[in-house]
Structure 1
């Protein structure tokens, strides 16, 4: 996506944190965000949660940060000479290995990789096509991953890696359906493209006369596409996808020019993205949402974030309750068992870890 505005809550140059009462998210556990001190003023749309202790963020000013202790301390591990880049997506395999994507037209779209916790970075992909604009990347496993570009010559473009991001190859577009006029993907939170088990992946769009979800089961060589009932328009569509498994998924979005309005802002699928059911306005998130994730400890709990708040669904995305009214752009969970944790990130260096009360 070429342009994305964001609303932030600010006073005197500082982020103001406001919290709704647990009763407003009643009917289950209570949720709250615990902000961590990053010392940064960057906007972090790239986020990768490895566990409750380890997380990576990437953002404006070419910044990449890493924590190993649950956010008590953040290390600046930014690639040198990248100050003009915007890192909109991060995929961390563990505390040492990570891949980051910078967005923009032409050579601003790049991929870097580290294997030593950010002490050194290798540029492994630089887009040479002035018409391409890479938005998101996702990995099925430690080796296989995809990166998504807005349409070039009438079709979305895919670059693929089979060696953990060390090298990338732009794929043939023969198996890609044609794009709609004005259609593109939103580089809002690194979740316009998500990957599942095996070689399955999905990406979501907006900007056209209807949002759509594309699906592949062969690592990006062939794609099918399905229309979505969510909001459509130049500033509207699906901004984020999250899947529990190969069949059960949730999409969130809306219209980013109407951040406090739930304009057809969520939908669910039970057949792997082949069809989508719209969440009614009264049960949808309270406004436009740019990021979403399933939590590891509950099969039906989903969290969505956006500039006007955070919402939780405890029934697989069919109904939502707001539990926070501050601004975040991205949300992701990682880890298993007692090491599982969820993180959110956004403007003015904001990064927070989720706390769950019983």
Structure 2
């Protein structure tokens, strides 16, 4: 493993004001007049090392205990052990197609990788790497699948751009052995120019039996299901929208109540207004937050585990950003501007991937 450790900043002492990982000064409790019991940073420095450096574009990660699986372009996928650095490298070829995987999910025994474009290809791969099976294929000029996730080891969901007047929705109830496309008669209609972004495999968010799917483009909404995809409600959002490359690119829920979504205008990557929204009522209502502050276009957002829904980390065109107050303020913690996706191992460790790299961030 080629490893680089980057110390962003650290507290120099615990009894005085000091500079930390944050762009805004952070002080100790002794020097804060009225410290908030709700919002406080949980770390003072970030250590970063490189786990993988290859000519790959990686937009999909999944954490499997002490292992990280990734899906990438040109039919590539694989895993890295965080304990002993053991690697598994896989590649899938089909005819003369250039397969680009942007979605990945898992059950207890299998990994699933989903390709964008025509034809839509979904593969089941055993975690020991011995079996690879094409479990779903869909041909059509408009076919483009964006994200995949599982409720449990038997039931899973994948979403894609519309081929008719609704979003494309695949459901499995047998552990991913077979997938069925849901009829448009059972789904909400999409408006012209509304679709999904295959930016970081975070279009689908699952908490228990509840599911949220986020769209973007000329219209950007949230589709909510309380019954594992059998029925859907539609919720409007205030995020910037109206053109093909605007809207929600990523969302995450800390629990069934607190959620955050980001994106913005992909063609104006430094524009930092209208690109962050939050819900505190399970997605029924969304509000803009941190207008003209922090990052611009965001590719992926994730809540920090064990943070009571207060802490968030995002990656995108402006770098790696952190908020400890539910997105009200943001601090840049790393300069990487070519990361696409992020997943937490635990509260102190996250894995991020993007152009030609997978890195590990350790928050101390």
Give 5+ residue unaligned stretches, structure 1.
1-15
Matched, 1:219 2:228: yes
SS in structure 1 opposite 2:239?
coil
The alpha carbon displacement at 1:173 in A equals: 2.0
Change (3 A) 1:154 1:39: same
1:140 maps to 2:154: no
Is the contact between residue 290 and residue 327 of structure 2 (CA under 8 Å) also seen in structure 1? no
Counterpart position of 1:203: 213
Long gaps (5+) in structure 2: 11-19, 27-39
Say which SS state the counterpart of residue 296 (structure 1) adopts: coil
Report the 3-state secondary structure (helix = DSSP H, G, I; strand = E; otherwise coil) of the residue aligned with 2:186.
coil
Bigger share in strand: 2
For residue 105 of structure 2, what is the aligned residue in structure 1?
A: 91
2:116 corresponds to which of 103, 107, 118: 103
The TM-score normalised by the length of structure 2 is: 0.84
Cα distance per residue 1:171-199 (max 9 Å; x no partner): 1222322211111100000001222212x
Give 1:56-95 correspondences, 5 Å limit: 56-70=69-83, 72-81=85-94, 84-93=98-107
- Compute the displacement of 1:71 (Å): 7.9
Aligned to 1:149: 160
Aligned to 1:316: 326
- The separation in 2 between residues aligned to 1:341 and 1:74, in whole angstroms, is 19
| Higher Cα Rg, which structure | 2
Alpha-carbon separation, structure 2, partners of 1:344 and 1:179 = 32
Residue 158 (structure 1) aligned with residue 169 (structure 2) = yes
What are the Cα deviations for residues 11-69 of structure 1, in whole angstroms up to 9, with x where unaligned? xxxxx998754624245213536232424211000111234x31011111111020123
**2-structure distance, mates of 1:134, 1:270:** 29
Structure 1: distance between partners of 2:113 and 2:84: 20
Q: What does residue range 167-186 of structure 1 map to in structure 2 within 5 Å? A: 167-186=178-197
Q: Is contact 1:19–1:323 with CA below 8 Å preserved after alignment?
A: no
Per-residue deviation, 1:260: 2.2
Between the aligned partners of 1:84 and 1:17, the Cα distance in structure 2 is 35
Question: Quick check: 1:77–1:117 contact (8 Å CA) kept in 2?
Answer: no
Report the equivalent of 2:316.
Answer: 306
State whether residues 54 and 69 of structure 1, in contact with CA within 8 Å, keep that contact through their aligned partners in structure 2.
yes
SS at match of 2:74: helix
Question: Within 5 A, what are the aligned runs for 1:9-20?
Answer: none
RMSD, matched Cα: 2.4
Partner Cα separation in structure 2 for residue 71 and residue 31 of structure 1: 24
Partner Cα separation in structure 2 for residue 186 and residue 71 of structure 1: 34
Change (3 A) 1:273 1:128: same
For the Cα contact (< 8 Å) 2:217–2:244, is it kept in 1? yes
- The answer on whether the counterparts of 2:217 and 2:246 sit within 8 Å (CA) in structure 1 is yes
Structure 2 partner of 1:328: 339
The 1-side partners of 2:331 and 2:228 are apart by 35
Q: Give the structure, 1 or 2, with the largest relative contact order (CA under 8 Å, sep 6 or more).
A: 1
> How far off is 1:223 after superposition?
1.3
Q: Secondary structure at the match of 1:174?
A: helix
**Using a 3 Å threshold, how does the CA distance of structure 1 residues 237 and 153 change in structure 2: closer, same or farther?**
same
State how far apart, in whole Å, the 1-side matches of 2:345 and 2:282 are: 22
Is 1:355 the equivalent of 2:355?
A: no
Counterpart of 1:45 in structure 2 is 59
Query: What is the correspondence of 1:284-303 to structure 2 with a 5 Å cutoff?
Result: 285-299=294-308, 300-303=310-313
Answer yes or no: is the 8 Å Cα contact 1:237–1:253 preserved in 2.
Answer: yes
Q: Structure 1 pair 219/196, CA: closer, same or farther in 2 (3 Å)?
A: same
Q: In the aligned structure 1, how far is the partner of 2:358 from the partner of 2:240? A: 28
> Distance in 2 between the 1:329 and 1:250 partners?
17
CA separation of 1:68/1:21 partners in 2, compared to 1, >3 Å: closer, same or farther?
A: same
Contact 1:155–1:173 (CA under 8 A) maintained in structure 2: yes
Which residue of the other structure, out of 323, 340, 343, is the alignment partner of 2:351? Answer: 343
Matched, 1:187 2:198: yes
Aligned-residue offset at 1:135: 0.7
Is 1:18–1:325's contact at 8 Å kept on the other side of the alignment?
Answer: no
